[in-house]
Structures are given as C-alpha cells and as structure tokens.
C-alpha cells in the first residue's frame, strides 16, 4: 500500500503527516465495559454479571473482544475538533473535506478487565491516493496499539479511513 503515496499525488503537508504519533492512557472501569457492551447490544453476562463471570474461566468480568474501540480516541475538548467532529486522530492535513470509516484489521490479545490501565499508542502509518468511481479518494491508515499495565498488548488495530 505505501508504494502508492507518491509525493506528486499528495500535498507535502499530507505526506509530512505520515508517521505522526500520539499517545494517551485510560483506566478501564466495569462501567466502561458495561456501556460498550450495551452500545453494541451484546447481552453476554460475562460483560455485566460479576457472579456469572467469577464462575467462568476468566474469574472476573471481561470486556468484549473489540472493546478497545472505546479507548481509541482521546478525550480532547469539542473546541479542538474540526467542525464536522472528526476524531482528532484522523484530522490530518488533506485536500478533502469528508471522511468515513473503511476497513479494519483488529488483533485481540489478553481480554481487558476492569482496573486495567491501557496505554493507547497511535501512529498515522500511511496516507495514499486512489482513483475511485466518484473521483479521487485519499486513504488514511491509523495504527493503534493498546498495551496494559503489565506490558501485554491487549489489542492492535490497523484501520483505514476514506477521505474525499
């Protein structure tokens, strides 16, 4: 993919954004897990019921496999977002105005538990341009690594966002 980010196809400020790194840390609560599971609409008691979870092989409440999506974006104030509310992590200088989510590769490590302290490390891995049916599209690839307090990677995602 990276072979396609030919400099003449992208403004220099866009190319310069490749490699941008940011990081934040969140402490996970049982409430975070419960709210994520409710938002997905997943009724598995492993995510809600301490007694049920204690009898499981996990021994405690755990988070759904893709829970780290709830930790991916930093709590920046609304004033610092673009007018359309695009997450700050995706607000890179591009000659486009619209962005939508495209694709994802999500690897799951140890399941997240209440009390985990998760470091969220983000890097703009790539930006490239492709011609599509509705004109040129610019793809932003965001790589995110979620690591717990024991240094274990609990999740890793490579997500591609489509801009036009």
Positions that interact with other proteins (CB under 8 A): 32, 35-36, 38-42, 44, 46, 56-57, 64-66, 69-70, 72-73, 75, 78, 81, 84-87, 98-108, 111, 159
> In angstroms, rounded to a whole number, what is the distance separating the alpha carbons of residues 94 and 71?
25
Residues with Cβ within 8 Å of 154's Cβ and at least 6 positions away in sequence, in order, are 68, 108, 109, 110, 111, 112, 116, 118, 146, 147, 148
Nearer to other proteins, 64 or 129 (CB): 64
* Contact predicate 56/48, CB 8 Å: no
Closest CB 7 distance from other proteins, rounded Å: 27
Closest CB 80 distance from other proteins, rounded Å: 11
Nearer to other proteins, 21 or 100 (CB): 100
Neighbours of 140 (CB within 10 A): 25
Nearer to other proteins, 69 or 113 (CB): 69
Closest CB 155 distance from other proteins, rounded Å: 10
């Amino acid at each position: 993919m990276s072979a396609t980010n030919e400099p003449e196809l992208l403004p220099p400020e866009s190319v310069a954004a490749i490699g941008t790194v940011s990081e934040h840390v969140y402490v996970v609560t049982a409430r975070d897990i419960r709210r994520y599971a409710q938002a997905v609409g997943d009724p598995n008691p492993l995510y809600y019921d301490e007694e049920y979870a204690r009898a499981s092989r996990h021994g405690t409440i755990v988070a759904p496999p893709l829970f780290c999506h709830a930790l991916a974006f930093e709590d920046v104030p609304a004033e610092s977002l673009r007018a359309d509310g695009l997450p700050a992590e995706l607000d890179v200088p591009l000659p486009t105005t619209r962005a939508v989510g495209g694709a994802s590769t999500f690897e799951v490590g140890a399941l997240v538990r209440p009390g985990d302290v998760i470091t969220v490390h983000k890097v703009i891995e790539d930006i490239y341009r492709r011609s599509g049916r509705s004109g040129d599209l610019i793809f932003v690839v965001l790589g995110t690594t979620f690591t717990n307090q024991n240094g274990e990677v609990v999740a890793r995602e490579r997500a591609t966002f489509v801009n036009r």
